[in-house]
């Protein structure tokens, strides 16, 4: 029998594939993103998908007098951000909506993206909830959480009778 497939004398059998559920999942997710992007590439190729998550980066610092929470919220305005304090949990919520329309001689392109996020932080009992302040400047949210001044009561020690 003649074949066009080259066969070497003494060649070993082809390597067998082992089944890996993680590699299978990886291939399925890649295929899902390829189908979603219509063959235009991975998320890194599209600016609006440069960050796969909308969760903002946050820094929490502590000084002797206060805690300070800083969050990066590029493109958001004060009306887009909601900060609440419930039972010692500080929650920062936001929603970003962008619309981009471009018209040319032979095309009309409209892109819209929407997304929301929420981050929650458990605050220590030593904070003063009535004095919490927040400000948003050039896409950076700053929440200042003052500490309560501890009431120190001196308790006298008496000799046992």
What is residue 100's three-state secondary structure? strand
**Confidence (pTM):** 0.56
Cβ–Cβ under 8 Å, residues 74 and 140: no
- Residue 50 banded pLDDT, cuts 50, 70, 90: very low
Q: Is pLDDT above 70 for 108?
A: yes
Tens digit of each residue's pLDDT (9 = 90 or more) over 7-43:
555 555 555 555 677 777 878 887 777 666 554 444 4
- Element housing 22 (H / E): helix 21-37
Beta-strand relationship, 81-86 and 108-122:
unpaired
50: left (phi over 0), alpha (psi -120 to 50) or beta: alpha
Which pLDDT belongs to residue 149? 80
Which pLDDT belongs to residue 38? 54
Which pLDDT belongs to residue 45? 45
Q: Is pLDDT above 50 for 148?
A: yes
Mean pLDDT computed over every residue of the chain: 79
Q: What is the CATH number assigned to the segment(s) 53-146? A: 2.60.40.790
Q: Which residue has the higher pLDDT, 25 or 158?
A: 158
For residue 146, give the nearest of 93, 94, 85, 92 by alpha carbon.
85
- Domain segments of the chain: what residues? 20-52, 53-146
- Residue 82 banded pLDDT, cuts 50, 70, 90: very high
């Amino acid at each position: 029998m003649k074949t066009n497939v080259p066969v070497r004398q003494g060649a070993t059998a082809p390597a067998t594939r082992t089944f890996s559920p993680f590699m299978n999942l990886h291939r399925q997710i890649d295929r899902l993103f390829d189908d979603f992007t219509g063959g235009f590439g991975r998320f890194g190729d599209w600016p609006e998908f440069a960050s796969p998550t909308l969760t903002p980066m946050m820094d929490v610092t502590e000084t002797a007098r206060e805690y300070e929470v800083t969050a990066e919220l590029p493109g958001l305005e004060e009306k887009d951000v909601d900060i609440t304090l419930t039972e010692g949990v500080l929650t920062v919520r936001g929603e970003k909506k962008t619309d981009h329309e471009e018209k040319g001689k032979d095309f009309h392109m409209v892109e819209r993206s929407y997304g929301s996020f929420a981050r929650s932080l458990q605050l220590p009992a030593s904070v003063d909830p009535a004095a919490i302040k927040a400000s948003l400047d050039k896409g950076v949210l700053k929440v200042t959480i003052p500490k309560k001044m501890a009431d120190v009561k001196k308790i006298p020690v008496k000799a046992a009778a």
